[in-house]
Amino acid sequence: MPIRRETRRLYPIDWPLISKHIRFEVAGPHGAGRCWKCGRPHGQELRVLPDGRWFDVELHTWRDARGKEAAWPDMVDACRMRKTRVILAACHRDHDPPNVKPKNLAAWCQRCRTLNDREHHRRQFRLTILQRRAMGDLFEGSYRRYHYFGSFCVR
Ligand SMILES: [Zn+2]
């Protein structure tokens, strides 16, 4: 996942080297170059199911969201199967970019990262909405001009 422009200055200058080291040189529970949670290998296009199972081409078996051997999908599951390319990212467990201590970093695939960061993104989304409303109060008058549809703010 690309680094957002507003948080780029928070990362150390050698972040690309640190990221590469974590993703491809440090052996996680499933080995180097694999997601530390589910074991999906970087760069491969895999068959995946909505419940997190994925097909391990090397061992010719299905694995669950924790990388353990799982049951093969039935016909209903197989209809919801899709292909995805796995991209590993070096992630901060505490969502704090300057904290690059080895214990705080992990190599996760996009699925595991999304699941791990869900609550953090919810909090950030709420802050963004509150910030927009405050800007409306300060500079544009009432925020009645903002229309809320579901959880999205549309001007
Ligand atoms: Zn994963």
Give per-residue pLDDT as tens, 11-22: 999 999 999 999
Q: Name the percent of the chain lying above pLDDT 70.
A: 89
Which is nearest to 35 in space by CA: 66, 76, 7, 6?
Answer: 66
Does residue 145 register a pLDDT over 50? Answer: no
CA of 17 to the centre of ligand 1 (A): 21
By CB neighbour count within 10 A (0-12 exposed, 13-18 middle, 19+ buried), where does 107 fall?
buried
Is the pTM above the cut of 0.85? no
Between 132 and 141, residue with greater pLDDT = 132
Tell me, in angstroms, the distance from the centre of ligand 1 to residue 35's CA: 5
Q: What does the alpha-carbon distance between residue 91 and residue 131 come to, in Å, rounded to a whole number?
A: 26
115's CB contacts (< 8 A; 6+ apart) are none
CA of 150 to the centre of ligand 1 (A): 30
Residues 60-99 have pLDDT tens digits of 999 999 999 999 999 999 999 999 999 999 999 998 899 9
